[in-house]
Amino acid sequence: MSGYSITEPSKRQKWVAGLLVTTYALVTMLPLLWVIATGFKSPADSIAYPPKVVFQPSLEGYVNLFTTQTRISPDMEATIAPPQTWYEQIVRDKGMVIAGASRYGQRFLNSVIIGFGSTFFSVFLGTLAAYAFSRFKVPIKDDLLFFILSTRMMPPVAVAIPIYLMYRQLGLSDTHLGMILLYTAVNLSLSVWLLKGFIDEIPLEYEEAALIDGYTRFQAFYKVVLPQAATGIASTAIFCLIFAWNEYAFAVLLTSGTAQTAPPFIPTIIGVGGQDWPAVAAGATIFLLPVMIFTIMLRKHLLRGITFGAVRK
């Protein structure tokens, strides 16, 4: 306990502030909890009125999300084997059989490949560029830095037209590589700016000492500077990953199947009779959960990264 200070808020102020913020946080959380809960409802419960808070949990939404199904016709009845697993049973109870896997798994995998691939490249290139900007005399440095920042002002839809044409020429349209390159470029501005801030904070004396010890510039960079910048690099990586994970505009305009990520796909999940809300909610939950867990685990770094980026510019 520190001593009395004029600026320390009173007990009553703390109490009122706590109450208001808690209320806001609970209201914020409600839609998220509702979606997660909907993923575990049966289709009938999901559209019940009034909305059901207490319900019999069901995995039907998840089964519908990951499988495609066919209705059992009378002439099929004699030929099909009885259900072997619990999820086949869930489907059978509705008079259906599993015909195969749905495309959700593939879309999710695409998100993983493109998300992690582009994150790797934007952090790799961003670290190199940030180091050079932080430590060397680069000609027209301020202009280059502003140019890098300005690439973020363009609406994605506006550059999508020529990129679409360019990718078609180069055979990059609807490929993982094409999307990785694109997201790398989009994330570079953020990556360079954030990392330059982190590297600026590492004292020069470390490298000077290394250079005097006979290290080359390059050795000093990867043996001294890189380990010092590790936390900065990690939090930058999370930001790049979250962006690439969540991106929708480029994904919907430039991909049609092979390389399409989950955000354009989730809204297209439709059930047999109308929108299958538990399946949509299950898809959303699986997709949102990694980011939510990341955010909670790394909150200190994430919050610092956001405000840091703001203060720098």
- Of 117 and 126, the one with the shorter C-beta distance to other proteins is 126
Which of 86/147 has CB closer to other proteins?
Answer: 147
Beta carbons of 224 and 207 less than 8 angstroms apart = yes
Among 76, 165, 177, 230, binds other proteins (CB under 8 A): 165
**In the range 242-301, which residues lie near other proteins by CB under 8 A?**
242, 245-249, 252-253, 262-264, 266-267, 277, 280-281, 284, 287-288, 291-292, 294-296, 299
Q: Quote the CA–CA distance of 200 and 76 in Å, as a whole number.
A: 70
> In terms of Cα–Cα distance, which of 38, 36, 90 is closest to 66?
90
Report d(CA 67, CA 103) in Å as an integer: 8
**Do residues 187 and 244 lie in contact, with contact meaning Cβ atoms separated by under 8 Å?**
yes
Site string for other proteins, 204-233 (x = CB under 8 A): x--xx--xx-x-xxxx-x------------
Dihedral, CA of residue 11, residue 16, residue 19 and residue 20, to nearest 10: -140
Q: Which of 76, 80, 109, 128 binds other proteins (CB under 8 A)?
A: 128
Residues 33-72, interacting with other proteins (CB under 8 A): 34-35, 38, 46-51
Residue 169 as a binder of other proteins (CB under 8 A): the answer is no
Of 60-68, 72-80, 100-108, 136-144, the window that binds other proteins (rule: CB under 8 A) is 136-144
Among 100, 137, 203, 274, binds other proteins (CB under 8 A): 137
* Structural tokens at position 240: 């790049």
- Nearest distance from residue 151's CB to other proteins, in Å? 4
Residue with tokens 């939510």: 292
Q: Binding residues for other proteins, how many (CB under 8 A)?
A: 113
Residue 80 contacts other proteins per CB under 8 A: no
∠ CA 261-264-270 to the nearest 5 degrees? Answer: 115
Decide: is 101 part of the binding site for other proteins (CB under 8 A). no
CB 252 → other proteins: shortest distance, Å? 8
- 185 C-beta neighbours (distance < 10 Å), count: 16
Rounded Cα distance, 251 and 179, in Å: 8
Q: Distance of alpha carbon 91 from its chain centroid, rounded?
A: 31
Residue showing tokens 């301020």: 142
162 forms part of the interface with other proteins (CB under 8 A): yes
